[in-house]
Structure formats: C-alpha cells, structure tokens
Structure 1
Amino acid sequence: MSEYTLSEIRPTNKRDVRKMDALLEKEGIQRDKNLDYSIGLFDDDYNLVATGSCFKNTLRCMAVDSNHQGEGLLNQVVTHLMDHQYSRGNVELFLYTKCDSAKFFNDLGFYEIARVDGKVVFMENRRTGFSGYLEELKKTAVPGEKIAVVVMNANPFTLGHQYLLEKASAENDAVHVFVVSEDVSLVPFDVRFELVKAGSSHLKNLIYHPTGSYIISNATFPSYFLKDEDLVIQSHAKLDINVFKKIAAALGVNRRYVGEEPFSQVTGIYNRIMKEELDACGVECVIVPRKTDGTEPISASKVRKAIKEGRLEEIRDVVPAATYEFFTSERALPVIETIRNAKEVIHY
C-alpha cells in the first residue's frame, strides 16, 4: 500500500486550498464556507488524494480521490479529525453525510439521529447521545391539554420575541422555550439565554432549555453536497423537523409557535415546510404575525444594525427593558464591539 503524508491545509496556503477544492469538486462536493480546520493526505508527488475538515464539533467536507478508493484513506481522515476534535475538547461529535455513506460512518462508530431520505443523514459519535437528551427532556414534561414549543435565536431578544412568547403563554397550559445554544451568533448564547428569561419573567408557564447540538442552525447545517439553494433550505428544514418530532413526543408537545418572517427568504421557506410537516403529524404549527413598532415589523436584524451604527437610543422602543439595560451597561461592551466589527448584521 502506498504511503501518504498527512498535512494541515491552512486557509492562507492558496495552492493546497485549490487542490482541496479541485478534489472536492471532482467528487461532487463544494467546499463549505464554515470550516475551522482542514487536512489532506498527499502522495509522494504532492498530489492530494484525500481530505476532510471540521467546523466546531462537526466533521465535514470529507472526500477521497476515486482513483484511491478502497485504500482505507477515508478511515485515516476521519480518525485524525476525531483525534483533533478530542484534543481541543470536543468529545460530542456530529456529522452530516449522504444516505449511501451512512453505513460506512456507522462502522466507524457514528450513530444515526435523523435523516431525510435520499438527501442527508445526521449522525453523532455517542450511541445514547440523542436518546439520553430525550430522557432528560422528559423530566421537564408537564401535564396539560395544550403544550407548546417556541424555538428562538433571540440575537438579541426584542419586543417581537416577547410578543411571540406572550401569545404562546396565553394560549397554552405550558410553553417549552428553546434558545439556540450554538455560539455562531453575534450575541453570545449566555447573554441571549439570560435576556430571554429576563424579558419573559412575567410569564409563569414557560420552561427554558438550551437547544444543545440537536436543533440545527443555518450555520452548522452543511450545504456542500446539496447544490440547489432551495434544496439546501428544504433539506435543513426537513431534517430539523424530523429531530423536532422526537423532541415533541418526549415533551408531549402538540403545538409549535413561530414568528412570521417578512424579511428572511430562508426562514420563510423553512416556516412553510415546517407547517406542512408538523400539521401532517398532528402537531399544530402556529405562525404568528410580527409585532410592529407602529410602522414596520420589529426585527433583531434592525436592532443589530442600530447597535453597529452607534444608534443605541433607537433600540429602546423595540426591546424589553432588560435588553436595553444590558446594551447600555459595561458588560455589553465586548458584544457591541463584535457587532460593530461584523461585516454583515442583516440576515436574509
């Protein structure tokens, strides 16, 4: 068997990045925009024969040159990426793969969480990871005829988010509120979680949860093996909803509330598919019209834009008091700096 050299492919090494792009393209994959570590296996002539990457606690963009398949190279790539993840403290690992590759990863110790037939499989490296997560959620289940869920990023928490929770609270016996816990937003999770709880503390039938790694964000869902943009959105939505159905069953949930999305095309498509999928399985999907500031729908994107441009006073009328107090405190200075340094704060 031939010997290969394993090397890190750094973003600054344009030659190796071009080789990685060429190999991925040859194998029908487009390099994902969200990568934080990449490696390659090179032969004696410095030809790239296999590659793989990480983003946070996920493995992605793995490919072997078709001329070298059957040599166990993907196994080497995955083993190295897992060792690298463990070395940086990530022990709970996830990957997304095509359906016809799921068995291979199962043989390497990954277990299926959910799938969209013919499109994508979501897997993790713990046999009882998701089932254990569901068992923990069951401990928070409460009795009632109407049990609802709201999932929100709250980047940051606005009067629009508050209105959505108030409506869900008034119309249900209990509401499970999941805050996206991945730190891929401009406002960190610990701040978002704190502001959601502070801004809805007057509602006494809410139960708060971090989403963990199972409710999937746009940032971590891979698009590299789905070429059509609408197909990416649809597959993301269906996979996320297939995971959510299991969460709903664990909590006895029969309703999910979402805000109407007049600004984001991605979220608009997502909401449409969510309503179709959930209604079909007996979970009512309630799409709530956005609260307005008197003229326009309240938007977290517009709040971030005002913060970026130094117009903090303008957010006072569209966020709860706790959110405004945070952003006018010294604690907020690092968050404000992050927002001001961001190239883009409006999400479409």
Structure 2
Amino acid sequence: MKRILFITSTRIGDAVINSGVLDYLVRQWPDAKFTVACGPLAQPVLENTPGLERLIIVRKKSFGLHWLGLWRRVVFQHWDLIVDLRGSAIAYLLAANTRKVLRSTKVKMHKVREAAGVLRLDPPPEPRLYLPEEARQRALQWIPPGRDWLAVCPSASLPFKMWPATHFAELVKTLVSPGGAMAGAGVVIVGGPGDEPHAEPILAALPDNGVVDLTGKLYLSDVAAIVERARLFIGNDSGVMHISAAMGTPTLGLFGPSDEMLYGPYGEQCATVRGPRGLEATKSEFPDWRQHPSSLLDDLRVEAVIGAAERLLERTEKPD
C-alpha cells in the first residue's frame, strides 16, 4: 500500500491554494494512505481528506525546532512519496522512494500554478476541499434553500487588506435591495473570532432583512459549507476567500496591497477588483504597507465593486 507524506502551509489561504495538488494525489492513488502535516489553522480544511491516515499539526517554534518535531514523528516510516510544499529540507532526511520539494522561482505566477509545478502538472489542478456531510446539513439549517444568498466576509488577517466595513454595508444593501443585482437575496456574514465589529455596519444597514451573522460562531469546515451554498461571495484577500473559490462558489476578491496575480481566488467562477491607485502605486505610497494599521483599499469605490459583482453574476451559474 502506497504511503504519501504531504507537507503544506500553516496559513489557511496557502493550505487551500495547495489543496489542488493534494486532491490530485488522492485521485491518482485512491488506495494510498496519506499523512498530512499542516499548521493548526489549516486543520479544519484538510482533516476530511480521503485516505487520511494521520494529520500532524505543526506549531511553529523558534530556531526551526518545529521541523525537528515533525521529523521525529515521521522518520520511522518509509515513504513512497513525499510532497513538500513548504520547501523545507525535511524530505531529504527521510527514507523515501520519491521526493518532490517546492523551490522558489523568480517567475511570477499564481501560487496555485506554482504549487502544481512541484509535480509538473499543467494545467494545474484547482483547489478542492472535502467536507463532512454533517457540515452541509448544518449549512441548510443556517441558510435554508428557497432563495439566493449573498455571502460576505468583511474581515481579513491583517487590517491593511480590509475594505472599510462601512463600504461593505453600502455594497450589500445596494445588491439586495429592490433593483439590485441580487434583489431579495438573503445575506450571510462569515468571519473568525474577533471579527464581529466588522459585521456591525452591515447589520445596521439591513436591520429588517434577517441578515444571518455567523461571524466567529463556526468551525472552518462549517464556514466552507455555508459559502458553498451562496450564489455569490464577496470578501477581502483572506483564507475565507480562497475557501469560497475552492468550493466552486462565484467569488469576488477585493485587493489593495496584495497581488491578485499571485493570490487571487482561483478558478473560472472567480474575479478580482481593485481601486485605481494600483498595486505598485499603493506599495510606493505606503512603504510600510506590511505593518500599516488600517485599510489600504480606501481608493476602491463601492460602485466599482457593484459593477464587478454584476459582471461576475452575469457569467456564472447558480450553484446546485
């Protein structure tokens, strides 16, 4: 029986981006036993992988000691294949028939394509997540069938990636109000613990529309099941945005100082929008952008996002 060690990211978004390679391996060797090593944040999006024998949570430690801890847990197994998308040296310290280790390249390409390059897969397999059926059943209870749903995530891991929450409120109200592109649709808000303040302007803008606010209330696989049912997802550059794209939901990503050519939501059902300032001008104007304490998407107008959402709705299909 083939045993495969798959090493992926700590961050949610990067782990989702890498999930297409893992899905390819699952489909290529459906009888294989997989050991997946990832960070704790990524656990919920990988723990239902078919053929999963072990899920090893790698918690970062000083001086790279987390790699030593991982090595100790996998060194006594002979691996048929090791795929390391973290680009570490650990694969060369283990017994294996084949090792595939991601190496950085100066060629600018989407991170999905870069990950696929470790196995020379072209076209690259699209990210895919596996969910337990119970998560989908819970999603039906939170956002029942019978109407379209607009899912939004107005938060992100860092403040400079966040479009102002008041803009989100204006956007959502326009889209679901009479005459809007999603008139009459239900609205569901998702996000992690601590993101609740970003939902408040949307709730205030639609006090009588029965907005379902699930911010900070769900396990990540439940979030994936929620966005899977949406007609449209709109969110900042975040792990939830990548989850939405991986679930096949029409996904509109809002970008500022991060590069959509590398990190945009991936797939035919996806689109991105940014303000007129542009990527390079944003980084030039804000040289401290990685530590900037507030939004760097202030030049992105609500009208531009509405237009991008309308175009995405026109060319995509409603999910089953």
TM-score, normalised by the number of residues in structure 2: 0.37
